[in-house]
Amino acid sequence: MKLPSPSRLRIVLYPNPVLKKRAVDVGEFNAEHALSGEWIAALAKRMLELMREAKGVGLAAPQVGVGLRLFVCNPTGEPGDDLICVNPRFIERSGGEEREEGCLSIPGVTVTMRRAMSVVMAAFDVDGKPFQATGTELRARIWQHEMDHLDGRLIIDNMSATDEIANRRAIKQLQDQYRPPRRS
């Protein structure tokens, strides 16, 4: 995998095909490996910057064109609440609630999504240290949304007929504005 310079990354918009691909696990976290901890930390830092600039609460690596299982989030906007999750997986989900969700990669589109109200997640931090966390309500919703991105799923994959009608114009505009990336 060719690693882009994190400083050059931008949020990728629908219908870019990278958004529909399942991301791959981040391998070993060491200096000799292509995915050094330093590069992962720089990627996560840039993703947090882009998320804040776009006034979002979460951003997955595929949303910046990087097909790795990594996401960042911050449900409160407070710098101390930044969370970086590498190779996340859900251990448990419970409850359920329907709410509208938007997506930084699909601006102008909102879709009613049913999500678990509580989730337990296991992941690694940027230094490769494992951790486990429990998220409820908004935090749980954000984690599930970002995990969908890591699996190549988008909120528009779950649209009801009402959502399709309400979002038709915005989706068409994104499709019309899309320019495939140039091959280098």
pLDDT in tens, 48-85: 999 999 999 999 999 999 999 999 999 999 989 999 99
The whole domain housing 85 covers 9-91+119-154
Q: Using one digit for the tens of pLDDT, what is the confidence trace for 8-17?
A: 999 999 999 9
Q: Is residue 179 part of a domain?
A: no
**Total number of domains constituting the chain:** 1
Q: What is the pTM of this model?
A: 0.92
Q: Is residue 66 part of a domain?
A: yes
Q: Using one digit for the tens of pLDDT, what is the confidence trace for 20-53?
A: 999 999 986 544 445 667 889 999 999 999 999 9
- Mean of the per-residue pLDDT values of the chain: 92
CATH code, domain carrying 79 = 3.90.45.10
Say which of 78, 100, 146, 164 is annotated catalytic.
146
Contacts of 15 by beta carbon, 8 Å cutoff, 6+ apart: 174, 175, 178
Q: Where are the beta strands (DSSP E) in the chain?
A: 58-60, 70-73, 83-94, 97-101, 111-115, 118-124, 130-136
Q: Is 137 a catalytic residue?
A: no
